């Protein structure tokens, strides 16, 4: 479903897979597309794609329109897009105080009982970037590679590093060659981490748990001693 651009303004486009989202009802204007249906034949929801005007009075009118449409499309809403407005001063550079547009935007969010979903991995140079919405799961991307200083202590570590670097030959520019060599080294170091060091991270976790258990035992023991001494004092008095 698409809304053509008007003049210099951007248009709107919504694309979905029929086997994932089953469309039941919809409506649109030049600033939003509303799609109501079922996700995976189970979750009834309303998805809203928004491109708010730059003019504050026109944005205020859009908030009212969406508020009225919320009564017609009563299922849970998921709304995204370019709102051309921020909620707080910290979200906009060179902004020193809150203005009326921010207050109207926050009132709109509160009136529709929306929740501002936290964003992970947002670009720092531009706020125009793809968004992947995840449900009940935090996906921070590929697991980062962590170098353990204990590896250096092993007598064959430097030999292993040199062997991997020498055997990885790439005919490209220097930065790309370094990237490929480091990637090969990362893969090679995972094996000794498990076979030689026996999964250091797992052993550290076990040591932390054991230390914590000892701390708890140390905190409980003085209380038991005090309780026993009190019982003895009572017995002696009798």
Q: How far is the C-alpha of 52 from the C-alpha of 58, rounded, in Å?
A: 8
Do 7 and 83 reside in the same domain of the chain?
yes
Answer for the pair 123, 129: CB distance below 8 angstroms, yes or no: yes
Half-sphere exposure in the Cβ direction for 173 (13 Å, CA): 1
Asked whether residue 155 is assigned to any structural domain, the reply reads yes
State both tokens at 209: 């748990």
pTM for this structure?
0.54
- CA dist list (Å): 143 to 139, 140, 146, 180: 10, 8, 9, 18
Q: What's the pLDDT tens digit per position in 176-220?
A: 888 888 888 888 887 776 666 766 677 778 888 888 888 777 765
Instruction: Provide the CATH number for the domain around residue 38.
Output: 3.60.10.10
Do 101 and 178 reside in the same domain of the chain?
no
Answer for the pair 73, 79: CB distance below 8 angstroms, yes or no: no
Say how many domains are in the chain.
2
Do 162 and 104 reside in the same domain of the chain?
no
Q: What's the pLDDT tens digit per position in 67-80?
A: 999 999 989 999 99
Q: What's the pLDDT tens digit per position in 115-163?
A: 888 777 676 666 666 777 766 656 566 667 777 787 788 888 888 888 8
Asked whether residue 219 is assigned to any structural domain, the reply reads no
Asked whether residue 37 is assigned to any structural domain, the reply reads yes
Asked whether residue 120 is assigned to any structural domain, the reply reads no
Do 98 and 177 reside in the same domain of the chain?
no
pLDDT, residue 6, reads 66
Do 185 and 101 reside in the same domain of the chain?
no
Q: How far is the C-alpha of 8 from the C-alpha of 22, rounded, in Å?
A: 33
**Residue 168 sits in which domain range?**
149-195
């Amino acid at each position: 479903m698409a809304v053509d651009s008007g003049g210099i303004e951007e248009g709107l486009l919504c694309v979905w897979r029929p086997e994932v989202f089953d469309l039941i009802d919809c409506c649109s204007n030049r600033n939003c597309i509303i799609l109501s249906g079922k996700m995976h034949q189970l979750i009834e929801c309303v998805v809203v794609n928004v491109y708010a005007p730059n003019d504050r009075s026109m944005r205020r009118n859009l908030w009212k329109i969406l508020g009225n449409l919320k009564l017609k499309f009563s299922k849970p809403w998921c709304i995204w897009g370019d709102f051309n407005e921020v909620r707080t001063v910290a979200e906009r550079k060179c902004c020193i105080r809150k203005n009326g547009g921010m207050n109207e935007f926050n009132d709109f969010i509160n009136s529709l009982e929306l929740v501002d979903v936290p964003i992970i991995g947002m670009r720092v140079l531009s706020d125009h970037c793809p968004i992947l919405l995840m449900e009940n799961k935090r996906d921070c991307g590929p697991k980062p590679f962590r170098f353990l200083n204990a590896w250096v202590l092993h007598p064959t570590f430097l030999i292993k590093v040199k062997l991997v670097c020498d055997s990885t030959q790439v005919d490209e520019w220097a930065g790309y060659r370094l990237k490929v060599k480091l990637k090969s080294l990362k893969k090679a170091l995972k094996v000794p981490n498990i076979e030689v060091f026996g999964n250091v991270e797992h052993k550290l976790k076990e040591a932390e748990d054991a230390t914590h258990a000892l701390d708890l035992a140390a905190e409980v023991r003085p209380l038991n001693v005090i309780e026993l001494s009190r019982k003895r004092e009572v017995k002696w008095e009798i």
